[in-house]
A and B are shown apart, each in its own frame.
Chain A
Amino acid sequence: MNSIKLRVNGKEVTGQVEGRTLLVDFLRKDLRLTGTHVGCDTTQCGACVVHVNGEPVKACAMLAAEADGAEVATIEGQANADGSLSVVQQAFQDHHGLQCGFCTPGMVMAATALLKENPKPSEAEIREYLDGNICRCTGYHNIVKSIMAASGQDVPAMAAE
């Protein structure tokens, strides 16, 4: 067992974890932050994306012990201080960027990281960036639209509709 101490969504947390415990399991089971999902066991789907020290990370590909001392952000911490949805979250609702919602936390975390890096991405750049995130429901069309909209770009002009 390792003792770890980290900040999650701005709050300090501590835990006792086995060496093999994954960050995603620590978040889901120990902290009961079940918004971060697990969709695969080969680090291919991106349902588990969180931010570690500001960088998008697949939480199934990182040990909890490795997050000792880190600043972790999850979907639960994305809303604005007044509880309203963040710009990215709101854009997903406005443009129907989710259906079953299972890939959604990972998509939102990935999209938020993308827009920090590249505030006005092109459609191709968005698609490229989401290569590690699988969605089985939306065909990506409305996810791409949502991210375009979140970046303040003209959605109808881009969408082939």
Chain B
Amino acid sequence: MPKDGGIGSSTKRREDVRFLSGTGRYTDDINLHGQLYAHFVRSDVAHGKINGINADAAMAMPGVVRVFTAKDFEGVGGVPCGWQITSIDGSPMQEPKHPVLAEGKVRHVGDPIAVVVAESLGQARDAADALEIDIEMLPAVMDMKEAIKDGAPKVHDDLSSNLCYDWGFVEDNKDAVAKAIADADHVTTLELVNNRLVANPMEPRVAVGDYDMANDEHTLYTTSQNPHVIRLLMGAFVLGIPEHKLRVVAPDVGGGFGAKIFHYAEEAFCTFAAKQLRRPVKWTSSRSEAFMSDAHGRDHVTKIELAMDKDNNFTAIRTETYANMGAYLSTFAPSVPTWLHGTLMAGNYKTPLIYVNVKAVFTNTVPVDAYRGAGRPEATFQLERVIDKAARERGVSPIELRRQNFITEFPYATPVAVEYDTGDYHATMDRVLEMADHAGFEARAEQSKKNGKLRGFGIAHYIEACGIAPSNLVGQLGARAGLYESATVRVNATGSISVMTGSHSHGQGHETSFAQVVSEMIGIDATQVDIVHGDTSKTPMGMGTYGSRSIAVGGSAMVRATEKIIAKAKKIAAHLMEASEGDIELKDGQFTVAGTDKSVAWGDVTLAAYVPHNYPLEDIEPGLEETAFYDPANFTYPSGGYACEVEVDPDTGKVDVLSFSAADDFGNVINPMIVEGQVHGGVAQGFGQAMMENCAYDADGQLISASYMDYAMPRATDLPMFKVDHSCQTPCTHNPLGVKGCGEAGAIGSPPAFVNAVIDALHRGGHKVEHINMPLTPDRVWTAIQNS
């Protein structure tokens, strides 16, 4: 049993006390003296030419301080994109300018045209109604395949077409894959849509800009998963503010799920306007505004082919995807359908030949970027769906077909450029079947049948690449940043510790789990360790939290820094005990000399470091503070088996999820309680994608689902209790904690399990339905039954 507060214990979260007592400090809770309120006036058409904006009447309204339009941003940079993709023909992707406020044209519903800044929010809103904006509607570019045809209207007039890039991976395999497919004994083909989603963290985005004239210093408070990234992008590319004059603070953040990774125009606006107006400027997104201004997720249209030999061994996979970029390139948008998707197409299976083609397309929709899982759910979904279809076509069990093709030897180099270090896919499959009582399924299905219902069992197995990422590798792949993580461990004179981490917690509980790691390494109580994050003026340059990277990369940086601390502390202890450094051991916060009964406590050593009266000053400096930057050697590869049992009412198409089981291999686990919570939340979001959520546009580009009345969020009544297990552990081989990351697994592995279960149920009822596009609403399921 791990001790409470140590690695492996379900230590209760310290941050909960402030969240539960209403004393958390979220960005909207920050109000600065003299602050003004910004109200963004957004396009209500998908595509149009701005003929003119007349702000005279608005300016004359009570409380209005200023109305900003694109004219005010002349000489200011556009919102940058952080990743460049190269097309098959060697050309760089087409990269349009993304102005802070729309210049000349509006390109999606929600595109900001003007901002009214006033003494109160009510006054800003009232004045917005008095703004006269003349927009000439243009035809909306909505369908991706139509958009890249010759003569289609263009989202960006200065680009050659609406095609952002045409990416082939691995291009050298293309012909061999084509041949393997032509020669195969059997090829299963599936066409599907990965539905557009909105991340919907419960806290809407907020930005508060502040400017200190005396020191020429800017501060931005923002709802971000990565304040240093925002500082870098906004400072260097948009506003031209050097880092030492720009502080970005992301205090308590109410969920992110990807949508708060990106640098947004509103952040740049508030920072810019605060200097212009010499007063703090605050913007708080409404939920309706969030639907049309937060980056969306997914939105792929895909065709996948799976080739097999006569014994059902997989011989090749070919996929073709159209990936919606929306109207502009959001920060990491180009990387999602490519490097976060193509590299995962091998899944858990030893398919020797794989070719992935992705066409990224501009449309008159909100920009699309990473959402929980980002590319990996899209890869997993198509693969796990096509395998189920193949099993049916070949008359074999989908479980056995998976098992037969599982990778069993590690390390395993896939044909899509990544090398899995560890895994045991049979173990997670065994475990999930046991948890789901697969053996008893047929009897339960019989019972459902008697009740006029169709019961189905769905299985999915996933792999993900987490802990992003080796900087030199991502640099070759087009990233315009490194993806290391940092930590500073500051030991105070009395032995307490502040750890400054570049990663950011917005629900993940780092303040608790990170403290578990450091305190265990030293052998002191976890309450002696504080975790500081979310403020560029306090933490070393770090890349933030996304891609399930915090413990694997940020945690590793913290371990490295703590190791440096321990090494130095041992030198001090050796001096104090007049022993040789090599004989010093640290256990439970006591330094001892091997083979003797000499000892000195952690606190004595830390005090000596800061009151160095008796100290090896000729060898080492006083003080006890160390920083480490950790750049991972590889991705980590969590994997797992998910099983879902559903009951379908064939008369109404309604689906009830009866049980959901998840057996994950996350490697070593620091805090099981937190890890399980991450899986619950991920599975709930996967459920949302599979069964309820859909970000819908009409043909004219109107966003139909722009509130919680129209966008169906999973509620407590929609979900069952989940069975989750992480006892199958193959520790990561290349990071010091042996951890793999757990934040996205649920959202990656679960959608195909839900859909496979429904399709299984329909087949059991004699309905030959091969696929239904998500979300599997009663209407869609019923229609599929009727058409079968």
Contact = CB atoms under 8 A, between A and B. Distances in A.
Partners in one complex: yes
Contact of B680 (A39, A85, A142): A142
Contacts of A36: 22
Interface stretch (B198-206, B475-483, B620-628, B694-702): B198-206
Given A100-B201, A102-B254, A40 B683 contact: no
A56 interface: no
Contacts of A28: 28-29
A134 B684 contact: no
A20 B682 CA distance: 38
Contacts of A143: 716
B204, B253, B676 interface centre (most CB from chain A within 10 Å): B204
Given A99-B509, A134-B202, A141-B722, A42 B19 contact: no
Contacts of B255: 99-100, 102, 136-137
B307 to A, nearest CB: 37
Nearest to B706: A42
Contacts of B22: 33-36, 74-76, 78, 105
A42 B289 CA distance: 12
B15 to A, nearest CB: 7
A139 B18 CA distance: 21
A139 B22 CA distance: 21
B286 A20 contact: no
B202 A79 contact: no
Nearest to B121: A25
Contacts of A94: 12
B8 interface: no
A103 interface: yes
Contact of B507 (A32, A76, A101, A127): A101
30 contacts: A28-B29, A35-B24, A36-B22, A37-B203, A39-B202, A40-B287, A41-B287, A42-B707, A42-B709, A75-B22, A78-B22, A85-B17, A89-B21, A96-B673, A100-B202, A100-B203, A100-B506, A101-B252, A102-B201, A103-B202, A123-B721, A127-B719, A133-B716, A134-B715, A139-B722, A139-B746, A140-B684, A141-B721, A158-B721, A161-B724
A40 B719 contact: no
A26 interface: no
B786 interface: no
Given A76-B22, A96-B674, A123-B721, 6 more contacts: A33-B22, A41-B288, A99-B677, A134-B202, A136-B685, A144-B716
A82 interface: no
Contacts of A75: 20-22
B590 to A, nearest CB: 31
A134 B237 CA distance: 37
A42 B287 contact: yes
A81 interface: no
A38 B714 CA distance: 18
Interface of A: 18, 20, 28-29, 32-42, 44-45, 47, 74-76, 78-79, 85, 89, 92-94, 96, 98-105, 108, 123, 126-128, 130-131, 133-144, 158-161
Contacts of B507: 99-101, 137
A127 B716 contact: yes
A104 B18 CA distance: 11
A131 to B, nearest CB: 6
B20 A100 contact: no
B710 to A, nearest CB: 9
B720 interface: yes
B26 interface: yes
B494 to A, nearest CB: 25
Contacts of B681: 99, 136-139
B659 interface: yes
A108 B24 CA distance: 15
Contact of A96 (B201, B286, B677, B722): B677
Contacts of A102: 26, 201-203, 254-255
Contact of B17 (A39, A93, A105, A126): A93
A79, A136, A158 interface centre (most CB from chain B within 10 Å): A136
B16 A101 contact: yes
Given A131-B717, A136-B255, A39 B203 contact: yes
Interface in B662-696: 673-674, 676-677, 680-685, 687
Given A85-B17, A101-B24, A136-B200, A160 B708 contact: no
B202 A45 contact: yes
Nearest to B688: A136
B23 interface: yes
B659 A160 contact: yes
A33 B29 CA distance: 9
B13 interface: yes
B21 to A, nearest CB: 6
B685 A39 contact: no
Interface in B11-41: 12-13, 15-26, 28-29, 31
Contacts of A98: 16, 19-20
Nearest to B725: A161
A142 to B, nearest CB: 6
A-B interface, 10 closest residue pairs, ranked by CB to CB distance from nearest: A35-B22, A101-B19, A102-B254, A139-B684, A100-B507, A44-B708, A99-B507, A75-B22, A139-B680, A34-B29
Contacts of A33: 22
A85 B28 CA distance: 24
A150 to B, nearest CB: 12
B201 A85 contact: no
Nearest to B22: A35
B19 to A, nearest CB: 3
A104 B25 CA distance: 13
A134 B198 CA distance: 15
Nearest to B674: A96
Nearest to B30: A34
Interface in B187-210: 200-204
A134 B676 CA distance: 19
Nearest to A106: B202
Contacts of B509: 99
B122 interface: yes
Contacts of B676: 96
B677 A131 contact: no
A143 to B, nearest CB: 7
B508 interface: yes
